[in-house]
Structures are given as C-alpha cells and as structure tokens.
C-alpha cells in the first residue's frame, strides 16, 4: 500500500470514529447528565494522552499568560461546550438529524473565519455555505417539539457545532503554535477541570448511572477521542491538508448509517436531502482548498 493510500485509510477510519460519537452520545444522553458524562470522558482520555506525550517525547508549550487564558476558553467552548450540547441535544432529537447537522462543521468554521477574521470568501466557500444551510433547513423545516425531529434538540446540536467552530477560531488567535498532541492533552485537562466543576451541580452521586451509558462514554473517550486523534494525525502526515479536509465528509455519513443500523432510526427524505447537501458542501469546500494549494505550490 502506498503512503498516500495509507493516509486515506487512516483519515477514513478517523472520521468513522468521529461519526460514531453521535450514536455514542445518544446512548449517553439516556443514562448520564451531560457535564458528568463529559467529565468522565476527559478523566478516561487524559491518562492516555499523557502516556502518548511521554512515548513521543512531546514537550509542554511555553506560552504567555494570554495564550494560557485563551487555551482555557478554548477548552470551555470546544471541549466542554461541544460535548455537553451534543449530549443534551440528543435527548430531544434523533442521531440521524444530529449527524447531518454535525457535518456542517467545516462550513460553519469557514463562515466564522469570514465573519470574524475578515478572510475573503472564495466562490466555492459561498456555495458551500449555501449548500450546508440548505441541508440544515431540510432537517429543521420538519422539526417540531415532542418528536424525534425536535427543533429544540436540533438547535442544541447546532450550538455544539458553533462551539467547535469557536475552538478552531480561537486556535488561530494563539501567538505561539502548540503541537497537536500537547494541545489535545491540555484541552482534555482543562476540559476535565471545567466539566467536573459543573458536574457537581448535577449531583451525579444522587442518580444511579446506566451501565450502558458509562460503556458508551468509555468508548467515546478511548476510540474517537484518543484513537481518532492518532488516526487523524497519522493520516494527515501522509497527505496534503486540502486532501485531509475532504475526509471530514465521512463523519456525517457514518453517523447517519450507524444511527439506522444500531439505533434503528428511520432515514427519511428530508435527512437524505440534508446529508446530500452537507456532503456537497464539504466536498466543494475541500476541492476548492486543494485547487488553492496547488496554485500556491506552482
């Protein structure tokens, strides 16, 4: 197998694990409070990240106080905000709807970069934004409270996407670049501190935890959080950044397929239209980035 083919395989597997977090979060939502589940996820993942740092001899970053504060805000928004909103939203809406909405992350991040960082939008980015918006509208248009297509639930899921986009945006504001493994470890440690503090108000000791939910959050911590990180960066090291971006389209498809297979959720016309629009949006965004990279290299 060629180096590029290996990269494609690793990136595909990484995005499959990301897509599976939607199904895992759906199971967690039925048996654990959101902040308690998030704290447990980070408590399981943190020792493994520390071991990886030791094995790879990754050093801790030396940062200014403002950058440390920025990292803490990143953890609160991207790590804690994303996970808790995803779990909370899945109490009300279906995993298939959530999979479609989560798939808009690359496009929402590009929109934030245009709005906040004043980046000039390429025509392909504008098209991707329109397609992603159409995909979400295909889901939201038939959402109504009290069903598996809840507007409240879908709004919470989209809030999770915004939190993750803020994480990406804030990362661009760091004055000193941080190695990916060190960044993930710090996000996990800070996220644990924030989530554990908030979890105290949920009083988890007063409510028996579902063994199925605990198993799902353990899977979330071990496979997508740590395993997904290793697979993604192993794959990204073998291909270009623009090529790697294309593989983010695998995550929403995986979420929808697994929701149908493992949870028995129906996939209706609105969700098919939604996932189609989101896939076209992500692929057009990635293809545009690939062309731009080739122009720079030439």
- Closest by alpha carbon to 99, among 146, 152, 139? 139
Per the listing, tokens 């993930």 go with 184
Mark residue 264 as left, alpha or beta (left: phi above 0; alpha: psi -120 to 50; beta: remaining): left
- What would the mean pLDDT of 151-169 be, rounded to a whole number? 89
Residues 161/251, Cβ–Cβ less than 8 Å: no
For residues 89 and 97, what is the distance between their CA atoms, to the nearest angstrom?
10
Give the predicted TM-score (pTM) of the model.
0.85
Q: How would you class 41 by CB atoms within 10 Å of its CB: exposed for 0-12, middle for 13-18, buried for 19 or more?
A: buried
Over residues 112-150, the pLDDT tens digits come to: 777 776 767 677 777 777 877 777 777 666 544 344 557
Angle at alpha carbon of residue 138, lines to 94 and 25, rounded to 5°: 20
What pLDDT band is residue 289 in, cutting at 50, 70 and 90?
Answer: low
The two tokens of residue 235 are 């794959």
User: 216 in helix, strand or coil?
Assistant: helix
Q: What is the DSSP string of 245-269?
A: HHGGGHHHHHHHHHHHHHS-----H
Over residues 13-46, the pLDDT tens digits come to: 999 999 999 999 999 998 999 999 999 999 999 9
Average pLDDT, the chain: 85
Residues in contact with 124: Cβ distance below 8 Å, sequence separation at least 6, in sequence order: 284, 285, 287, 288
Angle at alpha carbon of residue 272, lines to 271 and 277, rounded to 5°: 95
Task: Give the pLDDT score at 116.
Answer: 74
Residues in contact with 208: Cβ distance below 8 Å, sequence separation at least 6, in sequence order: none
User: Phi, psi (5° rounding) for residue 102?
Assistant: -60, -30
Task: Give the pLDDT score at 140.
Answer: 62
Task: Give the pLDDT score at 145.
Answer: 39
DSSP-assigned letter for residue 179: -
- What would the mean pLDDT of 88-113 be, rounded to a whole number? 86
How is the chain split into domains, by residue range?
A: 3-297
**Over 70: is that where the pLDDT of 111 sits?**
yes
Over residues 37-54, the pLDDT tens digits come to: 999 999 999 999 999 999
> Which run of H or of E encompasses 44?
helix 34-56
Q: What is the DSSP string of 70-128?
A: HHHHHIIIIIIIHHHHHHHHTTTB-HHHHHHHHTTHHHHHHHHHHHHS-PPPPHHHHHH
């Amino acid at each position: 197998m060629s180096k590029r083919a290996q990269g494609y395989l690793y990136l595909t597997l990484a995005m499959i694990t990301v897509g599976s977090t939607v199904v895992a979060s759906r199971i967690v939502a039925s048996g654990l409070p959101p902040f308690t589940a998030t704290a447990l996820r980070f408590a399981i993942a943190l020792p493994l990240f520390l071991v990886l740092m030791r094995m790879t001899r990754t050093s801790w970053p030396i940062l200014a106080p403002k950058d440390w504060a920025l990292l803490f805000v990143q953890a609160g928004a991207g790590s804690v905000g994303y996970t808790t909103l995803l779990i909370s939203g899945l109490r009300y809406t279906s995993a298939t709807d959530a999979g479609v909405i989560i798939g808009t992350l690359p496009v929402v991040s590009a929109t934030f970069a245009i709005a906040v960082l004043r980046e000039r939008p390429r025509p392909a980015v504008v098209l991707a934004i329109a397609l992603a918006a159409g995909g979400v509208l295909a889901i939201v248009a038939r959402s109504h409270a009290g069903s598996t297509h809840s507007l409240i639930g879908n709004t919470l899921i989209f809030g999770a996407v915004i939190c993750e986009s803020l994480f990406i945006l804030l990362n661009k504001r760091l004055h000193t670049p941080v190695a990916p493994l060190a960044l993930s470890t710090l996000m996990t440690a800070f996220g644990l501190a924030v989530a554990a503090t908030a979890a105290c108000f949920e009083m988890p000791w007063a409510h028996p935890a579902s063994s199925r939910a605990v198993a799902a959050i353990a899977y979330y911590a071990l496979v997508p959080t740590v395993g997904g990180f290793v697979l993604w960066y192993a794959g990204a090291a073998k291909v270009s950044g623009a090529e790697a971006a294309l593989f983010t389209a695998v995550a929403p498809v995986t979420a929808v397929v697994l929701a149908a297979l493992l949870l028995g959720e129906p996939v209706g016309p609105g969700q098919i239209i939604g996932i189609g629009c989101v896939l076209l949006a992500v692929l057009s965004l990635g293809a545009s980035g690939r062309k731009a990279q080739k122009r720079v290299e030439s």
